[in-house]
Amino acid sequence: MKQVERRGAGGLGKAAPASRGDPAAGMAAEVDRRLLRCYGDREWSPRFGELLDGLVHTILSQNTSDVNSHRAFEQLKEAFPTWEDAAGAATADIEEAIRSGGISRVKAERIKAVLEMVRADCGSYSLECLREMGVEQARDYLLGMPGVGRKTAAVLLLFQLGYPLFPVDTHILRVGKRLGLIPPRASADQAHDIMDTAVPDDIKFRLHINLIEHGRAVCKARKPDCPGCCLNDICPRVGLKEEGSGDA
């Protein structure tokens, strides 16, 4: 199948004009312009040379910090230099290697199952077959894997292949709802569809990174710094009792 052009999601150029009839797209573009001034541009490049490395690392990042997931991945690769080694190992041994990443038993089982599925479908311990798929087919294939949901699939396809998807983590879900980009009662899966549509393809990567940074530094879950926020005058503060007071 024809491979999708990857540069469009990298945030390397200027933001595409928002659709005139789509207020959410206009808001997303304005948020991007402001966060660009606050946090700078983000140049897209694949995080890992191997797609399977990227998928396993993303699985390890679930429900833990970046520091813990990086450490767990390094320890996994040290214990099992190749994915064939990992596939032949006992689940308990993988669990021990990734213990620092949290929920190690569940993640070890998922990694073993994913490796078996990839070997059966692609003929080797490699996900290079994804490069031959379009966005929808690649996403559907990943969603068929154990432990791979919308966020994990979107992270892999955006960060490794530059496909125009918008991953929604807890920070983006929170900030997006406060900004009115995501309806208050929207689920995480619904939020992915909403942000995929609302955010222009060429700023998806940059806005994803900058919204997470903003959620960590300013628009925190509790006691957000509304007075010091660069989005203060355009933010409807959905779900906040009052400026800087925390969640309703």
Catalytic residues: 151
Residues 76, 137 share a domain: yes
Q: pTM for this one?
A: 0.84
- Residue-wise pLDDT tens digits, 54-75: 999 999 999 888 899 999 999 9
Residue 107 CA to residue 95 CA, distance in Å, equals: 8
pLDDT digit string (tens) for 107-154? Answer: 999 999 999 999 999 999 999 999 999 999 999 999 999 989 999 999
Reported as a single tens digit per residue, the pLDDT across 5-14 is 333 343 333 3
Name 207's Cβ contacts closer than 8 Å, sequence gap at least 6.
Answer: 11, 28, 31, 32, 35, 166, 199
Asked if 62 and 236 count as a contact pair (C-beta separation under 8 A), the reply is no
Query: Do 68 and 11 belong to one domain?
Result: no
How many domains does the chain contain in total? 2
Residue 123 domain flag: yes
| Distance, CA of 55 to CA of 144 (rounded, Å) | 13
Same domain, 157 and 170: no
The mean pLDDT of 196-225, rounded to a whole number, is: 96
The domain in which residue 203 lies consists of 7-43+166-234
Q: How far apart are CA 153 and CA 58, in angstroms?
A: 9
* One domain for residues 217 and 193: yes
Q: Where are the alpha helices (DSSP H) in 81-187?
A: 83-88, 91-97, 104-122, 135-143, 150-161, 170-179
- Do 71 and 114 share a domain, yes or no? yes
Spatial distance between the Cα atoms of 133 and 156, rounded to a whole number of angstroms: 14
The pair of structure tokens assigned to 151 is 């966020």
Q: How confident is the model at residue 22 (pLDDT cuts 50, 70, 90)?
A: low
Helix (H) or strand (E) holding 221, with range, is none
